[in-house]
Structure 1
Amino acid sequence: MTLANTGDTAIPNYSSLNAHDRLDLLKAAPLIFSPEQVEKIRNVDSFDELAVLRRELLDPSPLRSLNRAGELAPFSIVVNLIHDNLIRQGVLLAVNDLAKRGLGTPPIPFAFLQFGSGGRSEQALISDQDNGLVYQLPDHLGEQEKEKIHGYFQLLGATIVAGLEVAGYPPCQGNVTCLSPKWRGSTEQWLDQMDRWVSHPIWENARYLLLASDVRVLWGESAIFTPVHDRFRQLLAGNVFLLNRLVSNTLHYRVPLGIFGRVLPEVHGRFRGAINVKYGIYLPLVNCVRHFALANGIFASSTLERLDLLGEKGVWSKSFCDEVAAYFRQVQGLRLIAPLHWEDGQYTSNSYIKLGELSPDTQVMVRQSMKLAIRLQKMTEKLPSILGR
């Protein structure tokens, strides 16, 4: 089968530098992703090897020299390029594993989907799995042939999820992986499911729709998912009731900032004195930007792309979009600090930062970004009533 999206993501080009200059650059930059490292990933032939390489490429220790969120922010792009290439190789390893076990090769074209932070290209150093599979069934297949194809992709989904877990990507707690039939199926099954979610937008289904809005094809035939994406656009267009349900699904995230502008860290347990940067700042920003984007017919998957388009369409002023984008980038930098504060490699620790270990200007930035998140939440609360006029 042909693959439209197998990893030719643009990366910084260091190949034109001589060996001495490249060595100097590697010393100067605490985190880098070179063409040699891309090739190294592509030569991996087991999930155990992929795990070793993931730990090597995403080792946070070189970032110790940087303690300001603004200094760390640019490295979020590098981190996500590394994740993309590792996960793409994981999909290929799973395909090859089934073939080696005599279980066949992909009988039809398919696409591997990323949701959540992976779909938005916003993963932190330690990340879990939010993924799915979609495939295009040919017309006029008999039921037995269809079941055989469904069976192959069930095996592939299970192999991908198990393999990526070995490589250091635990399945998300919400079971949003291609191991689940909910996140794996033919284009027709995806379309039917999308219709059901929209027809019955209970809290859980609204959550699924929000996840689907962040989707990105990471490996395979991107055109296979296009009909599903188009259906989502059609179902959402002008649907104020549905948009209201989506908004109400996410505004429960509490920003830990007191009424007098004091940051409120955890007071009990293991994370005492720390704040949850993921749920306290990052996701409130992501969710509010997403809601305004969807309400205005913007279906880009990343937060920064959404902000650019909100500015272009005049939904928000260009200066306000730039302000939100600047804080968002620094929050992304904050998320890279977290593993250095705990050094236990645990996914849950990846969300917490110790306020006392931040530079004074970064502490100020944390407070200001929280104020911005609260402001955006108040704006988002009013969004359904504005749309309903």
Structure 2
Amino acid sequence: MDTSNTSRPTDDSLSWTATPVRALLRRPPVMVEPELSIHATARIMREQRVSSVLVGRDGIPLGLVTDRDLRNRVLAEGRDPAQPIMAIATTTLHTVDIGDHAFDALLLMARLNIHHVPVMDGPRVAGVITSTDVQQQQSNSAVYLAGAIYRQDTVDGLVATAARIGALQRQLAAAHASPHATGRLVSAMTDALTSRLLQLAEARFGPPPVPYAWVAAGSQGRNEQTAKSDQDNCLVLDDGYDPAQHGDYFEALARFVCDGLNACGYVYCPGEMMAMTDAWRQPHARWREYFHQWIERPEPKALMLTCVFFDQRFVYGERALLESLRAEVLRRTPGQRIFLAHMVSNALTHQPPLGWLGGIHTIRSGEHEGTVDLKHSGIVPIIDLARIYALAGGITAVSTRERLQAAASSGEITAARARDLIDALDFLSGLRIEHQARLMAEGRPADNYLHLQELSELERRHLKDAFAVVKDLQGVLEKRYLAGRF
């Protein structure tokens, strides 16, 4: 299939998924000592023509002062300008890493309504990016849509804004965006909706009584969403959680967010794997017990839950609650050969629809007769393979592409095999995105069922090749883990 694109993509936000934050830096940071006076600091800001300065020593920031701080915290309050600048500095700094994507910085600014973000290179600051820097770079839909989400003050406003996400996917497809970029941008919109709903929930119910982490699972967790899908999420609560004192608060918060996501088009999970379900709204220690049980006793339900909840990614709240949990799980899984064998056996239930002679079998009856299920026959098997490589290698990556790349680096799979799987994933995901875009353009709901008549002969050959790669790698894992059974 010829996916070349000689025209410039119409959505400049595509570049934000690949552009590092470092590309937005315009100058070295301006930093002053904590003891310097407010008056002297203001003069430096004027001389350097900057709207903010960092307060710190040896390149390590301790605080941030902006033009707005000088107005609100000094002039408006009649503060003595001879006082040290540290007296008015914001000491809770929200930063990004120099290797992060520009889109991450944009979402941070939008979510927290901040205008200056220090960029860190290890423990030292490399510079500061501002909302002006962003405005000069951004242009189109995904960037503005994220900002529009965070400007909404009601669920109805979020529902109206979320209705534009389908149009975003159609624009991305028309611009020949890579499936990886499309999945990341669409997932970012879901993250933004979730974060804003949580902010509205906290405004309604009050601040959380104990820290929590709202966690995305499934395709959102992997940054691989397309169009609108059902929601998979959970809450990891601090171990200070007391059901008697705090249960009503978190039940109300979770229900508000899940109901809001459903209203925005992310329907309730049929298996009720959502934070509004009591079982998936638990303290950190209970989540540790869950994963321990799933690994030690890999029954069919446990394997299903592992597939959903191992693909976890932090969205909002206290990040450390999830990161410490994931780190512990990944320390345990590499040596669990019986568990991994069960995971492989479970993964083999999704097989590419290839016959003995290499022909593609279509669905024989029912509503989708004559079609190929791109998701369950091609994409899900690759996701399953990548997840098993990650579990076996203790790999922290969550997205399928990054898991495959990390598996090649760790030796779980050869570099050539990893490239084959990534190419197959890109091809199958691309077909799926284009198919869904066509359906949405016709006013029909998006699905995963493709008629082979929609493809050219070349595309059909590529589809066979993609399925063959998946089937081959499934066979390799079957021999590695299931030879002689367990």
Band the TM-score falls in, shorter-chain normalisation: 0.7 to 0.9
CA shift in 2, pair 1:18/1:40, >3 Å: closer
Q: 1:176 to 1:244 in 2, by over 3 A?
A: same
Q: Report the counterpart of residue 119 of structure 2 in structure 1.
A: none
TM-score by length of 2: 0.67
Aligned residues: 364
CA distance in 2, matches of 1:268, 1:285: 25
The one of 167, 171, 196 equivalent to 2:293 is 196
Shift of 1:386: 7.7
**Which deviations, in whole Å up to 9, do the C-alpha atoms of 1:41-91 show, x marking residues without a partner?**
21122233223222213225446757xxxx45x154244324323433334
- 1:303 has 2:361 as partner: no
Q: Map of 1:84-163 to 2, 5 A cutoff?
A: 84-97=188-201, 99-100=203-204, 103-138=205-240, 145-163=242-260
> Are 1:187 and 2:295 an aligned pair?
no
The corresponding residue for 2:303 is 206
The answer to whether structure 1 residue 384 and structure 2 residue 476 are counterparts is no
Matched letter for residue 303 of structure 1: T
Deviation at 1:345, TM superposition (A): 5.0
Q: CA deviation at 1:5?
A: 10
Inter-partner Cα distance in structure 2 for 1:286 and 1:116: 10
Report if aligned partners of 1:137, 1:146 keep a CA contact under 8 Å in 2. Answer: no
Aligned identity (percent) is 24
| Counterparts in 2 of 1:271 and 1:340: CA distance versus 1, 3 Å | farther
Residue 124 (structure 2) aligns with:
none
- Asked if 1:241 is matched to 2:338, the reply is yes
1:253-281 deviation line (CA, Å, top 9, x unaligned): 13112221211122333323221000010
1:46 is aligned with what amino acid? T
Q: Secondary structure at the residue paired with 1:249?
A: helix
Q: State whether structure 2 residue 154 is matched by structure 1 residue 50.
A: no
- The equivalent residue for 1:291 is 388
Q: Which runs of 5+ in 2 are unaligned?
A: 1-91, 107-130
Farther off after superposition, 53-62 or 121-130: 53-62
User: Is 2:118 the partner of 1:10?
Assistant: no
Is 1:273 paired with 2:387? Answer: no
Residue 448 (structure 2) pairs with residue 354 (structure 1): no
Question: Displacement of 1:385 after TM fit?
Answer: 4.9
Partner Cα separation in structure 2 for residue 18 and residue 87 of structure 1: 21
User: Per-residue deviation at 1:205?
Assistant: 0.8
Q: In 1, are the aligned partners of 2:432 and 2:448 still within 8 Å (CA)? A: yes
Distance 1:291-1:22 versus aligned 2 partners, 3 A rule: closer
Partner of 1:323: 420
- 1:371 aligns to 2:479 (yes or no): no
- Supply the RMSD in Å over aligned alpha carbons: 3.2
3-state SS in 1 of match to 2:102: coil
Are 1:4 and 1:221, in contact at CA under 8 Å, matched by a contact in 2? no
Aligned to 1:29: none
From the superposition, tell whether residues 98 and 295 of structure 1 become closer, same or farther in structure 2 (CA, over 3 Å): closer
Match of 1:33 in 2: 142
- CA distance in 2 between counterparts of 1:272 and 1:130 reads 29
Q: Which has the higher strand share?
A: 2
Is the alpha carbon distance of 1:257 and 1:293 closer, same or farther for their aligned partners in structure 2, counting shifts above 3 Å?
same
Task: Flag the 1:83–1:5 CA change in 2: closer, same or farther, 3 A.
Answer: farther
- Letter of the structure 2 residue corresponding to residue 302 of structure 1: S
* Deviation by residue 1:171-216 (Cα, 9 ceiling, x = unmatched): 2222211111222111112112222223322110122122222111
Deviations 1:353-378 (A, max 9, x none): 22212243322221111111111111
1:263–1:385: structure 2 CA closer, same or farther, 3 Å change rule?
closer
On the 8 A contact 1:165/1:171 being kept in 2, the answer is yes
Q: SS of the counterpart of 1:244?
A: helix
Could you tell me how far apart the structure 2 residues matched to 1:18 and 1:194 are? 44
Corresponding residue of 2:273: 176
**Please, which runs of 5 or more residues in structure 1 have no aligned partner?**
27-31
